[in-house]
Structure 1
Amino acid sequence: MVLLSLAASHHDLDLDVLERLSSDVHAVASELVHSAASVTGAVVLATCNRFELYLEVDDAADAPRARELVARTVSERSGYGTDQVSAHLRVRAGTDAAAHLFSVASGLDSMVVGEREIAGQVRRALTTARRDGTTTGGLESLFQAASRVSRDVEARTGLGATGRSVVGVALDIAESELPDWSAVRCVLIGTGSYAGASLAQLKARGCTDVRVYSTTGRARAFAAARGVRSLPTGADLAAEVSDVDLVVACSGAAGAVLGVDALAAARADAAHPLTVVDLALRHDVDPGVRTLPGVRLVSLHTVSEYAPAEHAAVAAAHEVVTAAAEAYEADRRVRDWNPAVVAERTRVLGGLESTIVDLSDERAVRALRRRTRATLHGPTVRAREAARAGDAATYAQALAELASIPVPSLTDAG
């Protein structure tokens, strides 16, 4: 069993490219698992600034084929050629794959270093894979370990303890041209996890006049549960935002829900400025609104330009992640290589128990058991230590030594 990650992120690609790669992502995972014999499991992590697939394949030799299958499957949905998709995806395996996911889950690979939304997105990616039937024991173990490492990074380095996030940085940028937060009138577009995080940040800053809009019909329940108001599903959104100070958009709808022309018409007589924070990868708000008089747009591109990093905490966090990835991979090798060791021990110890059935001398039985276990102990320890270190040659030697140990006979009890 080999774990792979195929990842594209804001580090190398424009967000519009990531958006296209992320088209119908969960169908990609299902298709790979159910149609490709070489891929036994898949988990998709698609966020506002990354598209990543984590795969389990039977053998390292299957990795190139898995990459080809991913490129072809994503190509069919994104409109990019298979060669383009393949070029966009960086492939990692083993310890490198674990280290990358641990880094991602800890917020070290985000536009805002240390942001906390990503930890929840990693958990939800695994939950979705479970629901779709595409996860495996190996992927479960990897993603659960990533969540533990994320918590460990925060506890040991303080990174993320202040709640910094993409949402937080976007609102920090926005507030420079807003009135006092207690006087801000806001429309929040969306009812998902990012909308929940955005509303929490708005309330923490003192914003109480928030109205929620959604095209899905969930605004009323979302708003009622959080003590704010909602807008009717069929409301004229452009008209509703014409007299507010702030729009926070994070619905991820298929296409912009607030267009340039509609907003321009609604604000024809507006005398006050409007700040629009669009955190949706697929642009809830047409980027062209930035050209309208009195309208300021804060997008994910803006956030990426402003995001700072706490260098000392980040360096310490990377050390935690590296050590955790090495330990995880060592434990995985021990689990994967141990069955052969167990089989040899079972052969000898099982044979021993068959032999001593004919022994009536309890002292001789205890002595034979003790000598047999002592004989097995050395090569067993060497095999497991070699597995932990990834030393295949030493492991093979120790396993061969175990295989050469004969089943004890009655003459050995003398």
Structure 2
Amino acid sequence: MVLLSLAASHHDLDLDVLERLSSDVQAVASELVHSAASVSGAVVLATCNRFELYLEIDDAEHAPTARTAAAATVAGRSGYTADQVAAHFRLLTGTDAAEHLFAVASGLDSMVVGEREIAGQVRRALTTARRDGTTTSGLESLFQAASRVSRDVEARTGLGATGRSVVGVALDIAEAQLPDWSAVRCVLIGTGSYAGASLAQLKARGCTDVRVYSTTGRARAFASARGVHALPPGADLAAEVSDVDLVVACSGAAGAVLGVDALAVARSAGARPLTVVDLALRHDVDPGVRALPGVRLVSLHTVSEHAPAEHAAVQAAHAVVVGAAEAYEAERRVRDWNPAVVAERTRVLGGLESELVDLSDERAVRALRRRTREVLHGPTVRAREAARAGDATTYAQALAELASIPVPTL
């Protein structure tokens, strides 16, 4: 069993490219598992600034084949060619794949270093794979370990405790053009997890006049549960935002729900300044609104340019992640290599028990069992230590020593 990741993120690609790669993400894992013989499991992690596939394959030699299959599957939905998709992906295996996911889950690879939203997104990616039947025991172990490492990083370094997030940085940027938060009138577009995080941030800053808009019909329930108001279904969004101070958009709808022409018509001459925060990868708001008089647009690109720089806690967090990845990979090797050790021990100990069936001397039975286990102990320990260290040569020697131990006879 080999785990590998195919990663594309804001570090190397424009967000528009990531948006195209992320098209129809829910179908990618299922198609890969059911159509690619080399892939036994898949988890897709798609966020506002990354698109990553985590795959389980049966042999490292099949990594190129798995990458080709993944590229073809994504290409069929993104409009790119398979070669273009493959060029966008960074391939990692073994310890490198584990270290990357642990860093991602801990917020170390985020647009805003140390943000905590990604930890929940990692958990939800695994939940989705479970629902769709594409996860495996290896991927379960990897993603559960990533969540543990994320918590460990926060507990040991304090990174993330300050609540830095994409939403928080975006609102910090928006704040410069807004009145006092208690006087801000806001329309929130969306009802998902990002909308929930955005509303929490707005309330924490003192903004209470928030109205929720959704194209899915969930605005009323979302708003009622959180003590704010919902715009009625079918409301004219452009008209509703014509006299507010702030729009926070994070619905992830397929296509802009607020267009530049409609907003231009709705805004009268001399309208109050409007700040639009668009956190949707697929642009809830037409980027052209930035050209309208009195309108300021804060996008994911803006957040990327203003994200806080790394600080001392980040270096400590990286050390935690590296150590955790090495330990995870060591334990994975022990699990993968141990069956051969168990088989040899079972051969010897099982054969011994067959020999002891007719022996009635309990003291002699106990003594023979003890001596046999002592003979097995040394090569067993050496084999498992070699597996943990990734020392295939020493492991093979220890396994050969176990295989040479005969079944004791009376």
TM-score by length of 2: 0.99
> Following TM superposition, by how much is the alpha carbon of 1:268 offset from its aligned partner in structure 2, in angstroms?
2.2
Give yes or no for contact 1:243–1:270 (8 Å, CA) kept in 2. Answer: no
1:254-273 alignment runs, 5 A limit: 254-273=254-273
Q: Confirm or deny that 1:30 pairs with 2:30.
A: yes
> Following TM superposition, by how much is the alpha carbon of 1:271 offset from its aligned partner in structure 2, in angstroms?
2.8
Q: Give 1:332's aligned residue.
A: 332
Q: Which 4+ residue blocks in structure 1 deviate beyond 2 angstroms?
A: 268-271
Q: Give 2:153's aligned residue.
A: 153
Mapped to 2, the partners of 1:337 and 1:400 lie a distance apart of 13
Mapped to 2, the partners of 1:121 and 1:47 lie a distance apart of 7
Question: 5+ residue gaps in structure 2?
Answer: none
What is the number of equivalent residue pairs in this alignment?
Answer: 410
1:153-232 alignment runs, 5 A limit: 153-232=153-232
Mapped to 2, the partners of 1:150 and 1:28 lie a distance apart of 26
Mapped to 2, the partners of 1:233 and 1:330 lie a distance apart of 54
Q: Give 1:366's aligned residue.
A: 366
Mapped to 2, the partners of 1:336 and 1:271 lie a distance apart of 66
Question: 5+ residue gaps in structure 1?
Answer: none
> Following TM superposition, by how much is the alpha carbon of 1:366 offset from its aligned partner in structure 2, in angstroms?
1.0
SS at match of 2:176: helix
Q: Give 1:239's aligned residue.
A: 239
Mapped to 1, the partners of 2:30 and 2:212 lie a distance apart of 33
1:71-82 alignment runs, 5 A limit: 71-82=71-82
Mapped to 1, the partners of 2:71 and 2:363 lie a distance apart of 66
Question: CA offsets per residue over residues 333-384 of structure 1, 9 Å max, x none?
Answer: 0000000000100111111111111212111111101100000000000000
> Following TM superposition, by how much is the alpha carbon of 1:270 offset from its aligned partner in structure 2, in angstroms?
4.2
Question: CA offsets per residue over residues 260-318 of structure 1, 9 Å max, x none?
Answer: 01001111234310000000000000000000000000000000000013421000000
1:135-150 alignment runs, 5 A limit: 135-150=135-150
Q: Give 1:84's aligned residue.
A: 84
Supply the AA of the counterpart residue of 1:407: V
> Following TM superposition, by how much is the alpha carbon of 1:25 offset from its aligned partner in structure 2, in angstroms?
1.0
Cα RMSD after superposing both structures? 0.6
Mapped to 1, the partners of 2:271 and 2:7 lie a distance apart of 46
Q: Confirm or deny that 1:343 pairs with 2:343.
A: yes
Give yes or no for contact 2:243–2:271 (8 Å, CA) kept in 1. Answer: no
Q: Give 2:125's aligned residue.
A: 125
SS at match of 2:13: coil
Q: Give 1:100's aligned residue.
A: 100
SS at match of 2:112: coil
SS at match of 2:179: coil
Supply the AA of the counterpart residue of 1:154: E
SS at match of 1:358: coil
Question: CA offsets per residue over residues 179-209 of structure 1, 9 Å max, x none?
Answer: 0000000000000000000000000000000
Supply the AA of the counterpart residue of 1:284: D
Question: CA offsets per residue over residues 147-188 of structure 1, 9 Å max, x none?
Answer: 000000000000000111000000000001100000000000
Q: Confirm or deny that 1:401 pairs with 2:397.
A: no
Segment drifting more, 76-85 vs 246-255: 76-85
Give yes or no for contact 1:21–1:51 (8 Å, CA) kept in 2. Answer: yes
Q: Confirm or deny that 1:6 pairs with 2:6.
A: yes
Give yes or no for contact 1:41–1:57 (8 Å, CA) kept in 2. Answer: yes
Q: Confirm or deny that 1:43 pairs with 2:43.
A: yes
Give yes or no for contact 1:242–1:270 (8 Å, CA) kept in 2. Answer: no
TM-score by length of 1: 0.98
